[in-house]
Structure 1
Amino acid sequence: MGERPQRNLALELVRATEAAAMVAARLAERGERASADVAAAQAMRLVLQTIDMDGTIVIGEGEKGEVPALFRGELVGTGRPPAVDVAVDPIEGPPVESLNRPNTLAMVALADRWSLWDPGPCQHVEVLVAEGAARDVVDLNRGPVENLQAVAAALHRDVRDMTVFVVDEPRHEDLIQALQSVGVYVRRSPGGFVLGAILAAMTGTGVDVLMGTARAPEAVLAAAAVKALGGTLQARRAPQDATERVRLEAALGPRLWETLTVDDLVRSDDVFFAATGITDGALLRGVQFHRASVVTDSIVMRGRTGTVRYIRSLHRLDKLMRFSQIDYTGEGPTPYR
């Protein structure tokens, strides 16, 4: 006899990503992007505290004392089982920039306690993501073109028909030129690293591979989504200056250059991921404001079952604001200002 259905925590986490997205989008609409990060984090935290879980923030907004909410080590949830690691990003990227570009998400991921990778002093990682069919052929010890050729062969595609998602940053210019030299279409995006990872891990999105260097916290969130989707991911620490390199060498020695797989970054199959679009993007629409309501588009995933759901929610402000501690209207004082 099979198991009884269990809680899909992603369906509860999506309330937290919706809250963060609505607050961030409302402040962006009012031209208050600089204050959106703290406001979105406070909104996300308020909802996370209502979920029956014994959660510890592993990937958060910063260290205790540096940020008011969702700091590393903070406890979230009601304290009841299950015991879980939690990774959060209320606004992907610096809000002044990310709220003015497409593909910006509010995200939460969680998995069993002690199963999410702790980057420690590592700030940046090189990452490659592709569909699960390429799991046995990618190797970050090889160059990007050689890896792309291997992925193309695993997917039974001509390399010139492949599309690679790369975040459009100066540090990726050499990578982009190398890929374009073999006739590959490079989809340059001003942001949205985690979105790119999701698109590369899913079939039929028009993106075959994600390549590039990202912030370490983004890599953990990406790994949670990729694992839930059954994709493949490899990562390697990539210090961006001498200070970061010296710090990592002192902490890790020769392990600094080890290759990490999706199973190293997420060591549990029961992983949950939820994301809500803040701005319009390739996967989700951004928050849409109407006269008396707000509409959000979200995606939720559970690794154990492989289920992916798209959720479109209509939030009626006349009802919601009768009891909500979060100001979704932007018309009055809020606990995070």
Structure 2
Amino acid sequence: MDKIIYPELTMDLVRVTEASALLSSLYLGCGNMEKIKAVSIDAMRGMLDYIDFKGKIVISKYDKDSSGMLYTGEKVGTWKNDFPEMDIAVDPIDGVKLATFGLPNALSVVIATVKGGITLLPTFYSYKLAVGPELKGKLDIRKSVKENIKIACETLKVNPSNLTFVLLNRQRHEEIIEDITQSGARIKLISDGDITPAIATSVPNSGVDIYIGIGGTLEGILAAGALSTLNGEIQMKLWPRDRNESHLISEKGWDTEKIFFTEDLINGEDIIFSSTGITDGDLLDGVKFVKEFAYTHTLTMRKKSATVRKINTEHNLKNKTIRLKSLEKDEKLIELRKIL
């Protein structure tokens, strides 16, 4: 049997996240969350449809009834050739509140892998633990925070004060925060956007050792797409929001005690990740406009070749066009704010 050939989509996906970030940045700090979310999705949908592949959104924040959104189950790409189908996961803006108010760490993210390569977990939220290569296989999300801190210190040969945890600033994390502080480790609390810190655990000199806490399942899977190339690790456990959700997933045969590791969440002979900064952050700089130019900063990875690229791009605003799904055509970036 002939080997299935998957398309090399790295630069195609870079253009997708660049477009979403560029259009979002036109409304940076506008205070209108629905507007900035809508334009970022419109750009991402339009640019995905330019790609010569058969893509299917297998996980998104939206369902088919969410008008104008990239919904779970939506087909993207040309679907006109002999390439096999591929799984796509998207987050046009991780940290939509951050972008709405011009705060750090807003990103546009997309991953692609083979059909069946992304596991669609049944809960909106999951309990997550992410670490870098040195701690991969050492910590266990089922153990207490204090136990994991002890193991991390022994593994890295450091004191607790040398460890930095990142987690969302939420009331549900009060016990975790207390355990970390009592152990003497450092904490960095974030308001939104937890893809960045999960990936940062595997980036040298990022200042992040461990990401932990309850956050979006989609964001965990997107982070897994990057960590699979960086040789980091994410562990996730279903976190039902209420008894009704817990009952529904149990009826479908899901085990709420099961731990999903990186390779359980996303796999395949090729995984491609792309993320473009919208606002300045710990991982990427945001979009900058200087006179007649826009500058974007993108992190992209391909697991098959273990390639990690940081791409800094200059866009000439006189020529730069973005295809919007709503218009079904290209428009110059400088004209889009007048139209939308």
- Both proteins in one fold, TM over 0.5: yes
Distance in 2 (CA, whole Å) between partners of 1:124 and 1:30 is 28
Q: Residues 249-328 of structure 1 correspond to what in structure 2 (within 5 A)? A: 249-252=250-253, 255-321=255-321, 325-326=330-331, 328=333
Whether the 8 Å CA contact 1:276–1:298 is kept in 2: the answer is yes
Whether the 8 Å CA contact 1:198–1:225 is kept in 2: the answer is yes
Distance in 1 (CA, whole Å) between partners of 2:30 and 2:331 is 16
Whether the 8 Å CA contact 2:149–2:183 is kept in 1: the answer is no
Residue 49 of structure 1: aligned partner: 49
Residue 222 of structure 2: aligned partner: 221
Percent of pairs with identical residues: 28
Secondary structure in 1 aligned to 2:128?
A: strand
Q: Residues 150-299 of structure 1 correspond to what in structure 2 (within 5 A)? A: 150-252=151-253, 255-299=255-299
Distance in 2 (CA, whole Å) between partners of 1:83 and 1:321 is 28
Q: Residues 85-104 of structure 1 correspond to what in structure 2 (within 5 A)? A: 85-93=87-95, 95-100=96-101, 101-104=103-106
Q: 1:190 to 1:327 in 2, by over 3 A?
A: farther
Give 1:159 deviation, angstroms.
Answer: 2.6
Q: 1:67 to 1:221 in 2, by over 3 A?
A: farther
Per-residue CA shift, 1:181-216, capped at 9, x if unaligned?
A: 110001112222100111012232111111011111
- Aligned mate of 1:333, from 300, 323, 339: 339
Distance in 1 (CA, whole Å) between partners of 2:36 and 2:127 is 28
Residue 130 of structure 2: aligned partner: 129
Give 1:322 deviation, angstroms.
Answer: 9.9
Distance in 2 (CA, whole Å) between partners of 1:87 and 1:152 is 35
Give 1:87 deviation, angstroms.
Answer: 0.4
Whether the 8 Å CA contact 1:99–1:279 is kept in 2: the answer is no
> Aligned AA for 1:149?
K
> Aligned AA for 2:339?
P
> Aligned AA for 2:303?
G
> Aligned AA for 1:105?
L
State the superposition RMSD in angstroms. Answer: 2.1
> Aligned AA for 1:54?
K
Distance in 1 (CA, whole Å) between partners of 2:303 and 2:272 is 6
Whether the 8 Å CA contact 1:17–1:44 is kept in 2: the answer is yes
> Aligned AA for 1:182?
S
> Aligned AA for 2:75?
L
> Aligned AA for 1:234?
Q
Secondary structure in 2 aligned to 1:195?
A: helix
Per-residue CA shift, 1:258-317, capped at 9, x if unaligned?
A: 011101001224111100111111111111122212111110011122211111111111
Whether the 8 Å CA contact 1:274–1:301 is kept in 2: the answer is yes
Whether the 8 Å CA contact 2:164–2:207 is kept in 1: the answer is yes
Whether the 8 Å CA contact 2:317–2:332 is kept in 1: the answer is no
Secondary structure in 1 aligned to 2:14?
A: helix
> Aligned AA for 2:156?
L
> Aligned AA for 2:159?
D
Secondary structure in 2 aligned to 1:28?
A: coil
Whether the 8 Å CA contact 1:40–1:90 is kept in 2: the answer is yes
Q: Residues 110-149 of structure 1 correspond to what in structure 2 (within 5 A)? A: 110-120=112-122, 122-149=123-150
Give 1:98 deviation, angstroms.
Answer: 4.3
Give 1:28 deviation, angstroms.
Answer: 2.4
Whether the 8 Å CA contact 2:318–2:332 is kept in 1: the answer is no
Secondary structure in 1 aligned to 2:26?
A: helix
> Aligned AA for 2:19?
A
> Aligned AA for 2:333?
Y
Q: Residues 21-40 of structure 1 correspond to what in structure 2 (within 5 A)? A: 21-40=21-40
Q: 1:331 to 1:235 in 2, by over 3 A?
A: closer
> Aligned AA for 1:241?
D
Q: 1:71 to 1:294 in 2, by over 3 A?
A: same
Q: Which runs of 5+ in 1 are unaligned?
A: none
Whether the 8 Å CA contact 1:23–1:327 is kept in 2: the answer is no
> Aligned AA for 2:209?
D
Provide the TM-score with structure 1 as the length reference: 0.91
Alignment of 1:76 onto 2:81: no
Give 1:51 deviation, angstroms.
Answer: 1.3
Q: 1:153 to 1:115 in 2, by over 3 A?
A: same
Q: 1:194 to 1:331 in 2, by over 3 A?
A: closer
Q: 1:293 to 1:30 in 2, by over 3 A?
A: farther
Q: Which runs of 5+ in 2 are unaligned?
A: 324-328
Whether the 8 Å CA contact 2:26–2:337 is kept in 1: the answer is no
Whether the 8 Å CA contact 1:124–1:237 is kept in 2: the answer is yes
